[in-house]
Amino acid sequence: MAHPVPDLIAKVGGVWAGQDLQNEFQREVAEMLKRNNPRVFPGAQPVSFAKKHLDELKTQDYFVCEKTDGLRVLLYLTDDGQNPPVTPVAYLIDRRNDYYWVDRLRFPHHENNPTYSRFHTRTLLDGELVEDRHPDGRTTIKFLAFDCLVCDNKDMRERPLDKRLAYLKAYILKPYTAWLKDFPAQASQQAFIFDDKKTEFAYSLQRMFEEIIPQVKKLHDQHILKWKPPHDNTVDFLMHIEWATIKPDLGDPDQSLQHDYDSLPAGIGLYIYHGRNMDYSYVADLYLTSAEWDGLKLRGVPLQDAIVECFLEDTTTSDGSSSKEQPDGPAHIKRWRLYRMRDDKDEANHISTFESVIDSIQDHITEQDLLNHADAIRAAWKARDARKSSRPPQ
């Protein structure tokens, strides 16, 4: 049976490593990160931003960068395991913890000679694949790196994020860019454009909002805080379908009701993951229009128990009216709507993730709320810097 490859990874020519080689790589990466379970995705998991995190921004050093709508992946740089001279190889790791080989990706070592004979190996970068669409219809796929977890088998995670980012720029991005400049023929062979995500100090929120990213953002350090406008918070659910039924033809000897796989389902339950013996619990029903259902059917993939990303829609309009009127006046209705299918995931969000998203929705932290705290965040940051350097704050 063919191994499904996430769409963006397929577009860059990613080829599944196969079970045996993947198992070997999973053990290697777990060993590099000093983790006991090689089966778990080794990247950090984001926490949805809630009101309590406003105080956290004043007590810890956070950086802010764009939350692009791409595919979260890790980039694992290793070698073919042969005797010298070894051949560098690169793998993308998706959130299923599956490994996909990408051809001709090379990352020259910073301690190199003009022939670029040495390359980074046993290096792990965190980032995401994004696809930019140009006005003329062309598309460009980029890998945007936002952290360096391991470099040449050296664990970087105990270093502050600003140091890790500086390491990423100086030791990985800079020699890579120089290599492509010296050997331009290599640029056309690269599977994607490699770059870092632009970061700012957390107190530079206004510049981030106004100059760099107009809509969706992420704040991150040793762990990741994910802020979105309140209406853009989403949850990944398992979707369990209760099929509509139809009566069989009169000539059919079996006169029991039959599943109608074509009509809009009788119900679509959304379930969240608890992590114990694959336990799931029901949260709510998904509200789906007939047109949306027709679109899902056209995808030609199994829909039962698929993972879907959903947002909580408030149907009350700005003038106080609602899509559903009650005898005593407008109703305030909230319902889960489909944002997109998550073909890259096998499991719904954990209950803890679901609860943090609900907290974020209920706290309703807006862009202006963040900007209102920017001065206090800056003052606290500068005070910490002053204490570290044993000099008065400027």
pLDDT in tens, 82-126: 767 778 999 999 988 999 999 989 899 988 767 788 899 999 999
Q: How confident is the model at residue 148 (pLDDT cuts 50, 70, 90)?
A: very high
C-alpha span between 45 and 66 (Å, rounded): 16
Q: How confident is the model at residue 46 (pLDDT cuts 50, 70, 90)?
A: low
Tell me the torsion sign for CA atoms 113, 115, 120, 121.
Answer: negative
Q: What is the reported pTM?
A: 0.65
264 by DSSP, 3-state: which? coil
| pLDDT above 70 coverage of the chain, percent | 74
Would you call 58 a catalytic residue per the annotation?
A: no
With residue 234 as reference, give the H or E element that holds it: strand 234-242
223 in Cβ contact with 56 (< 8 Å): no
Q: How confident is the model at residue 320 (pLDDT cuts 50, 70, 90)?
A: very low
Q: How confident is the model at residue 268 (pLDDT cuts 50, 70, 90)?
A: very high
Average pLDDT over residues 27-44: 89
Q: Which amino acid is at 222?
A: Q
Residue 208 has pLDDT above 60, yes or no: no
Higher pLDDT pick, 364 / 215:
364
pLDDT at 26: 96
Give Cα 242 to chain centroid, integer Å.
Answer: 30
- Based on its alpha-carbon atoms, the radius of gyration of the chain, rounded to whole angstroms, reads 24
**Which of 70, 86, 90 minimizes the C-alpha distance to 78?**
90
The DSSP result for 269-328, as a single string, is: EEEEE-SSTT-EEEEEEEE--HHHHHHHHHT-S--TTEEEEEEEEE---TTS--SSEETT
Average pLDDT over residues 207-217: 41
For residue 173, give the DSSP letter: I
Average pLDDT over residues 192-208: 64
pLDDT at 231: 65
Average pLDDT over residues 171-200: 86
Report the chain's mean pLDDT, rounded to a whole number: 80
* Cα-based distances in Å from 175 to 23, 118, 169, 316, 387: 31, 11, 9, 54, 35
Say which of 34, 58, 67, 297 is annotated catalytic.
67
Structure tokens at 213: 């990213």
